[in-house]
A and B are shown apart, each in its own frame.
Chain A
Amino acid sequence: MTRAETCVVACAEAWRGDGAVLASFAGLIPHLGARLAQLTFAPDLLVTDGEATLLRDGAVEGWLPYRQVFTTVAAGTRHVMMGASQLDRFGNSNISCIGDWERPRRQLLGVRGAPGNTINHTTSYWVPRHSPRVFVDRVDMVSGIGGDRGAHEIRVVVTDLAVLDFATPDRSMRLRSTHPGVSVDEVVAATGFPLTISSSGVPVTREPTSDESALIRERLDPDGLRER
């Protein structure tokens, strides 16, 4: 079992219980997670090839061009796992630019579909390098809205160190679990704001089952791209 495989399974878990909704993702680890979830405990999920084709068990099952994706967004029948260059403790996210919007220090992608996603349907995040540069007090440009700004649901944030959620009275971020071999102190040090941490201890993120490991290694990612 590797850290990347733990992360794939933690991403897959985000979609547990979602039923026939579109699982969208940005990045390889969430992509593997969505496909793993569809192959195991969430068989009803809709998963695309990243373009306009719907795939089930690796075979084509339908068509979903961008204009239909926007309808799916507005209908709320979608759960996306996005990336974030910055995230605050209420789950507001930034993928637009760093610095002053009028004249940014660094232009990123732009808000993309983040405003529409977060107000319409469930959103999760994948952060490949958990650091205080990502987990900040205030994001520079609110692209995806958090729980304090009317988000539909920010479900989980999966990082290379931990799984975080918003299961607190004021919907601020909580440490749900740390990955095997990661201490709570490491996560706290890598987060630029105070996290809610249960006084009764933080569980360890579950490890992949042998079936899940086999699916990841032999079927979904035989070339091991997840380890890069």
Chain B
Amino acid sequence: MTVATMTEIAGEIRDGMTVGIGGWGSRRKPMALIRALVRAGRRNLTIVSYGGPDVGLLTAAGCVGRVVTGFVSLDSIPLEPHFGLARKTGEIALTEYDEGMLYWGLLAAANRLPFLPIRAGLGSDVMRVNPGLKTVRSPYDDSTELVAMPAIPLDVALIHLNRADASGNGRYLGPDPYFDDLFCLAAKRRFLSCERLLSTAELIESGPPQTLLTNRSMVDAVVETPHGAHFTSCVPDYGRDEEFQREYANTDWNTFRSRYLDGDESDYQKAVTR
């Protein structure tokens, strides 16, 4: 367990890996780490995510082979333009699940189970577009048929929290933990970026115990990246940068990339606060 740099973390993620990304839609995404992956020019990643601009940026940059998700949305802008284009041109493969199935797949991986039964998916075209999905029948008197949601094990999890210490104890301060703890529990290597790195004593002071979402056994390296979820929301530290998100959604990719992503993270932060 170490405090790492973003370059070191990006260096641990290799082409073809399955990468789980925390947050939800355009909310508390580890965007600084995503930008680092874009700069590192990773290829053929499988991205597991409640998708937002994390999926869009990685897709536009050509880093993605497959997306495993229930949706991709910018929340205030319903449709993700880069993801939409890549689907239309057939550039990326998609594994499409119900949102609750994705949760169950991560929960199964976190608990080292091969699958967990769930109702969601039955009767829908999720079964048609995932021909490998199987059902399971209850061995008890009810004999209910359920989807056997397979575990979604991850090579790597990337999450962003409001506060953390150097050991990997981490805290969210906003209204929702999303599924960041589960992404870590489902992954072999777990990387946590945070708004502020605190001493353990300061971290414990910074909120109630039940908002301590990660402990030392769930995280392999921590990096402090202030404004590191930008342009997604990271309340209460900051809300979504709606104006910048509109620029992202409406700007040609090469223009956006040269304007904001060709330098390092500090160049990005300077460019977006100008």
Residues of A within 8 A of B (CB): 51-53, 63, 65-67, 70, 73-74, 96-97, 101-116, 118-120, 141-145, 149-151
Contacts and interface: CB of A to CB of B under 8 A. Distances in A.
Nearest to A83: B78
A101 B123 contact: no
A111 B119 CA distance: 15
Interface of B: 24, 51, 69-73, 78-79, 83-84, 87-90, 96-101, 103, 118-126, 128-129, 175-179
Contacts of B73: 109-110
A73 B121 CA distance: 13
A111 B88 contact: no
A112 B51 CA distance: 10
6 contacts: A101-B128, A111-B125, A114-B98, A119-B119, A141-B125, A149-B123
A145 to B, nearest CB: 4
Nearest to A149: B123
Contacts, number: 123
Contacts of B84: 106-107
B122 A104 contact: no
Contacts of A112: 70-71, 98-99
A116 B99 contact: yes
A70 B88 contact: no
Contacts of B87: 97, 103-104, 107
A101 B121 contact: no
B79 A119 contact: no
B178 A51 contact: no
Contact of A67 (B51, B103, B124, B128): B103
B98 A51 contact: no
A107 B79 contact: yes
Contact of A113 (B70, B79, B125): B70
A101 B118 CA distance: 23
A62 to B, nearest CB: 11
Contacts of A145: 122-124
B78 to A, nearest CB: 6
Contacts of B79: 107-109
Nearest to A143: B124
Given A110-B72, A112-B71, A119-B122, A63 B175 contact: yes
Contacts of A105: 88
Contact of B99 (A65, A70, A104): A70
Contacts of B176: 51-52, 65-66
A74 B96 contact: no
A172 B24 CA distance: 36
Contacts of A52: 175-176
A31 to B, nearest CB: 15
B179 A67 contact: yes
Contacts of B128: 101, 142
B131 to A, nearest CB: 12
Nearest to B87: A107
B70 to A, nearest CB: 6
Contacts of A108: 79
Residue among A51, A53, A66, A74 facing the most chain B CB atoms (10 A cut-off): A66
Q: For A102, A118, A119, A141, which residue has the most chain B Cβ atoms within 10 angstroms?
A: A119
Contact of A110 (B96, B118, B175): B96
A49 to B, nearest CB: 9
Nearest to A120: B119
A74 B100 contact: yes
